[in-house]
Amino acid sequence: MADEIYDVVDKKGNKIGTATWTQCHTKGLLHQCAHALVFSDEQKTRVLVQKRSKNAVQGASLYEASVAGHILSDETPDEAIMRELQEELFGGRSLPDGIKIKRLLSFFNNDLPNNHEIAYLFEIILDGESFTNRESEEKPEWVEWETLLRKISFSPKKYAKFFRSDIKEYLKSTSNKKA
């Protein structure tokens, strides 16, 4: 992985400098990321999950959000989620017509030592597609939303901490657990 450049931000998300991935994660610099829960339909019956690569620096082989990644320097959260979606699920191909993307909220994510992020959480509605994840050995899979919630409650250590935070924040932002 090339050492990407990110904006270092204050608690309001204002840029105060730049730093590499390594600098952000060794010095505990506040930076930004974009995460998305991709649902198969408007009723949100199924959500797309993927397994992190066994070679990932953080959270190797754990299940994670449908799409997630750091926001590059001078990139907006909306631009970042579009880039990550295109990279992680479509192998760089153009996004399909009819995709619905909605930014829901932001929260402070401090899931690991020295990892201090403002996470922007998106909800994406996307009818079934064939996905390609270039960062993992496994293909993303659709999981029933209620089943995922049960599995996380029974075996939380199988899921990346940031993903569990995404779910927690998402549920707080919706009126019921059905989403």
pLDDT values of the chain reduced to their tens digit, one per residue, 179 residues: 468 999 999 999 999 999 999 999 899 999 999 999 999 999 999 999 999 888 877 777 899 998 999 999 999 999 999 999 998 888 888 888 889 999 999 999 887 777 899 999 999 998 766 565 555 556 788 999 999 999 999 999 999 999 999 999 999 998 645 54
Distance in angstroms (rounded) separating the CA atoms of residues 8 and 162: 19
DSSP codes, 83-150: HHHHHHHHTTPPPPTT-EEEEEEEEEEEEETTEEEEEEEEEEE------B-TTSSS--EEEEHHHHHH
Helix (H, G, I), strand (E, B) or coil at 48: strand
User: Residue 68 in contact with residue 58, Cβ under 8 Å?
Assistant: no
Q: What pLDDT is attached to residue 33?
A: 96
CA–CA separation, 71 vs 6, rounded Å? 6
* DSSP structural state of residue 165: H
pLDDT, residue 60, reads: 75
**pLDDT reported for residue 137:** 56
Q: Please give the C-alpha separations between residue 38 and each of 2, 3, 100, 161, in angstroms, as whole numbers.
A: 27, 27, 10, 18
The token pair at 4 is 């990407």
Distance CA 85, CA 139 (A): 14
- pLDDT at position 54 is 85
CA distance 50 to 60: 12
